[in-house]
Amino acid sequence: MIYFNLNKQILFNFLVFFFPLSFLVGRAVVELLLFIFFITMLFYCKRWKVYFFDKNYIIILLSLFYLSVFFSTYINLEILSQTTDQNLLLKSVINFRYIIYTISIWFIFQEIKLDKRFFAISIFFYLFFLFDGYFQFFTGQNLLGYTMPSGRISGIFEGEYIFGSYIQKVIPIIITLFYLSFESNLKNKSFYLFLVLFLSTVIILLSGDRASIILFIFYLTISLLFIPSYRKILLMNFLISGTVLFLIVSFEIGKNLATLDQRYNPKSTYNAHSAQTKNNHPIIKYIPKDHFGHFLVVKEMTKDNLYFGKGLKSFRFMCRGKLGNLYPVDGGVCSTHPHNYYLQSTSAGGLIGLFFLSSIFILISFKMLNIFLKLFKKIIHNELLTLSTICIFVYLWPLIPTGNFFSNWISGFNCFALGLFLFINSKFNSEKNR
């Protein structure tokens, strides 16, 4: 029996601590680990019905969101069947797996005894990933010989511009797991937390991924305000990271400084051109035409079915491709997706889909407001719960360009963050009720 429990805990710790690293290997590995989460839950959980039918509003809203996308795909199937993708209805059903995965992660956290050794090993691999990025920045290629596409750090991702995005998404999870693992011994481990934050902050700033940088700084700033035990570390991180970045730029160290100048310097040729592509509207003048163009396409394509939308991948196929120019619009911009979760939910599920996804964010926002009010009234709040809330709050932040909501890259992180949040929230509520 002891051997069985030991193996069970080894498996659980492996899944929890190495899942964030699976994104470095490939999306197939991410999908495989998510599936193992599900199988593990079925194998070990004797009370599985509790998790599936628990009256949890986030799980209910998430289920209704995917249901709205399925229904929208079904009613638009005649048009969508003319596309190159003949399995859209099946894919809209398969998307329900992310609900199951979220519940599975919630269950695993409920059953696990976190092993600090697994956390240390996962951090070692993460630091090696950062070192590989630094090596590429200073030498022009990473340890595998990958050069920087367009002068931007890619690290192990080779030609993809997701280096900064990965750091922005994984750091909130790492910090939350750190607090969960070392809850009773935080002060003695603060140096290691600072080291991870410092190395992550500098390299993400050097990556030139502006959307990820904004969200990363947003996360750190909120954490600075809401987590008292975190403040000294964060302030030191901001000060030392800023100093190091200043020295790197001042002494012209590295291989992509020209790219950084293009992306950060408002006087550069690149940004001067970008400024010409902004809107002139007094409210939306700071939104690039590309992103506003996505909004115009979504507005046009959903106006004849505003409540239900056009179904899964409708933006991709109805804006261009085999059904290209089905909804031509002056100023519209086509892409594989509208580069915003909430625009994408509108195109895929209409206002109903938008309502369900937005409701999840609103619930999280109310949680954040409650934490703020406690701080304002100087009431002690649970820092672990606060960290997990901030994590999903930043993940779902609406006012920023995003990736494809339905990809397992995005959904994988969302599942893990939501499952972790639901576990900590339920743990906090049960402790409060005792």
Q: What is the pLDDT of residues 381-405, one digit of tens each?
A: 788 999 999 999 999 999 888 999 9
Q: What is the pLDDT of residues 301-337, one digit of tens each?
A: 888 889 999 999 988 888 765 555 566 677 778 888 8
pLDDT for res 272:
45
What's the average model confidence in pLDDT over 290-298? 83
Band (pLDDT 50/70/90 cuts) for residue 270 is very low
Task: Please report, for the chain, the start and end positions of each structural domain, with discontinuous segments joined by +.
Answer: 116-276
Range among 169-173, 256-260, 427-431 rated most confident:
169-173
Range among 39-43, 278-282, 284-288 rated most confident:
39-43
Q: What is the pLDDT of residues 55-91, one digit of tens each?
A: 688 999 999 999 999 999 999 988 887 777 778 999 9
pLDDT for res 140:
86
CA-closest candidate to residue 334, choices 349, 358, 317: 317
Cβ neighbourhood burial of 56 (10 Å; 0-12, 13-18, 19+): middle
Band (pLDDT 50/70/90 cuts) for residue 416 is very high
Asked if residue 196 lies in contact with residue 127, where contact means CB atoms within 8 angstroms, the answer is yes
Check whether 275 has a pLDDT greater than 50.
no
Cβ neighbourhood burial of 252 (10 Å; 0-12, 13-18, 19+): exposed
The span from the CA of 139 to the CA of 134, in Å, is 8
Check whether 276 has a pLDDT greater than 50.
no
Q: What is the DSSP code (8-state) at residue 403?
A: -
Alpha-carbon distances of 126 from 24, 223, 312, rounded to whole Å: 9, 21, 34
Neighbours of 118 (CB within 10 A): 20
Band (pLDDT 50/70/90 cuts) for residue 350 is very high
pLDDT for res 327:
63
Neighbours of 253 (CB within 10 A): 11
Cβ neighbourhood burial of 2 (10 Å; 0-12, 13-18, 19+): exposed
> Out of 9-13, 23-27, 280-284, which region has the weakest mean confidence (pLDDT)?
280-284
> Out of 85-94, 173-182, 271-280, 324-333, which region has the weakest mean confidence (pLDDT)?
271-280
> Out of 163-172, 248-257, 303-312, 352-361, which region has the weakest mean confidence (pLDDT)?
248-257
Check whether 231 has a pLDDT greater than 60.
yes
Burial 301-334 (b: 16+ CB within 10 A, else e): bbeeeeebbbbbbbbbbbbbbebeebbebeebbb
What's the average model confidence in pLDDT over 288-309? 84
pLDDT for res 318:
83
Residues in the chain, overall count:
434
Q: Can you state the percent helix, strand and coil of the chain, rounding each to 5?
A: 75, 0, 25
Check whether 261 has a pLDDT greater than 90.
no
Band (pLDDT 50/70/90 cuts) for residue 283 is very low
372 or 364: which carries more pLDDT confidence?
364
Q: Which two tokens stand for residue 152?
A: 């931007």
Asked if residue 261 lies in contact with residue 247, where contact means CB atoms within 8 angstroms, the answer is no
pTM: 0.90
Q: What are phi and psi of 404, to 5 degrees?
A: -75, 115
What's the average model confidence in pLDDT over 421-427? 90
- Rounded to the nearest 10°, the torsion over CA 35, 41, 44, 50 is -160
Q: What is the pLDDT of residues 202-214, one digit of tens each?
A: 999 988 888 899 9
Check whether 112 has a pLDDT greater than 50.
yes
Report the chain's mean pLDDT, rounded to a whole number. 85
Name the one residue in this structure whose structure tokens are 């030392």.
240
Asked if residue 156 lies in contact with residue 129, where contact means CB atoms within 8 angstroms, the answer is yes
Segments of 90-246 assigned E as strands: none
Point out which residues pair with 147 in neighbouring strands.
141
Asked if residue 321 lies in contact with residue 79, where contact means CB atoms within 8 angstroms, the answer is no
pLDDT for res 216:
95
